[in-house]
Amino acid sequence: MFLDRHATDDMLDYAAIAEEELARDHDYRAELAAWTMPGGRYDGLPGYVHGPRPLRDPAPVRDFGRQEGEAGFEARPQLAVLTTMGDRPGDWLRAGQALQRVLLVAAGHGVSASFLNQPLDLRDMRGRRDPHHRRGHPQMIIRFGYGLPVARSPRRPAAELETA
């Protein structure tokens, strides 16, 4: 479900509030640092995908704490929330399948996507429904737009992903 102007403003505020709360959580910051470390790891976010810091608040991008430079972002990004009727493992699987389709269609049209899941990262937010999404449980908050191409992030070797 795409968000209207009012809901987009509210969602950006929710994301900013959640980002501030998460920044005060030592364990969360430690895990984020482990996944955003520069260096030879191939299973985290390398520095070149972090992007610049926004010139304004609230940010329409996630702050990984390692952004370089600053850039102007659109005043009202196009946001969508992917929801499911339930919030159990089967629903999570269906949400992942739906997200895969959405991202493939977007990429096919030259549209980029990024995620604003700070509100979903707060444990107490998972049990609540966003007032603008009465259709179900929010599983992913997606920002769509057009941007400069970036290098592909590294992937784990397929052999590490196979199970017996």
Q: Within a 10 A sphere around the Cβ of 95, how many other Cβ atoms?
A: 19
Return the closest-CA partner of residue 97 out of 136, 140, 133.
140
Over the chain (164 residues), what is each successive 10-residue block's mean pLDDT? Answer: 82 84 86 71 68 67 65 78 89 96 94 86 57 71 82 76 68
- Confidence (pTM): 0.75
Domains of the chain and any CATH numbers: 5-149 (3.40.109.10)
